[in-house]
Amino acid sequence: MVEKTKSAEEGGRRLAGFHAVSATLRREPDTIETLWLDRGRHDPRMRKIASLAREAGVDIQRVERSELDRIGNGLRHQGVVARLRDAPPRSGGNLFAFLGALTKEPFLLVLDQVQDPHNLGACLRTAECAGVDAVILPRDGAAPVNDTVRRVAAGAAERMPVFTVTNLARTLAALKEEGVWITGTSDAGDDSLYAVDLTGPLAVVLGAEGSGIRRLTAEACDRVVRIPMAGAVSSLNVSVATGVALFEARRQRDRAAADGKVDAVV
């Protein structure tokens, strides 16, 4: 592989920053097409990320920092920007084909109109860490999976299947017909998150910042639960609530797997 110093080409999805790019180089190097590095930096972190790219056969281009600013288009890049290969589009139409190909009971995250890309990126990162199989988003009213989302997700956006659907309530109803138990979260939920069974085929639904899940979304759920709050603040940030809910589900599912009741996470 030859390191190049020419100016960057236009187009393509971007990933920026040492942590996000390093994680992707280690786990999914084939998703990176080109890596641009600050030609003025030669410190250990920069040498390490260049070494990872060379080992993976990724094209490296050394450019001026001003060129990185232009390529990153506002991203905080730390002297490192990657161009990602185009991912195959996913839509609600192939969600059920994806689920049908799973060899274990599905574990899904549904985000109802989360509009902050930082929150969406954090939710994707948490979902990947918790062993979620796929994330479902509504086509309208939700943040797109853009460069900011990918940077915050630290590589999870490239590994996590994300499906966008036109009608979220209808999709939840179709999931119920497939035997998936739909568990919504709300401050007004009847039961505590910790008092319900989160094993088996499961979709956990969380709502937008501030407003929570919409009425039709809540009505499409089999149950709506609350996260018990001990302090004076009445609600959690959606990305924090996602972590609480998913890892409670992960805890229960791992315990059930250890008892031989369900398949272990793979």
Sequence spans of domains, the chain: 3-84, 92-258
Helices 238-258, 117-129: inter-axial angle, 10-degree rounding: 10
What is the pLDDT at residue 91?
Answer: 63
Low-confidence ranges of the chain (pLDDT < 70): 1-12, 86-93, 232-234, 261-266
Please give the radius of gyration of the chain, using alpha carbons only, rounded to the nearest integer: 20
What is the pLDDT at residue 176?
Answer: 95
What is the pLDDT at residue 1?
Answer: 34
The answer to whether the predicted template modeling score (pTM) of the entire model surpasses 0.85 is no
What is the pLDDT at residue 203?
Answer: 98
Class of domain 3-84: alpha beta
What is the pLDDT at residue 263?
Answer: 52
What is the pLDDT at residue 93?
Answer: 66
What is the pLDDT at residue 4?
Answer: 39
Which residues are CB-contacts of 161 (< 8 A; sequence separation ≥ 6)? Answer: 90, 98, 133, 134, 135
Which homologous superfamily does the CATH classification assign to the domain defined by 92-258? SPOUT methyltransferase, trefoil knot domain (3.40.1280.10)
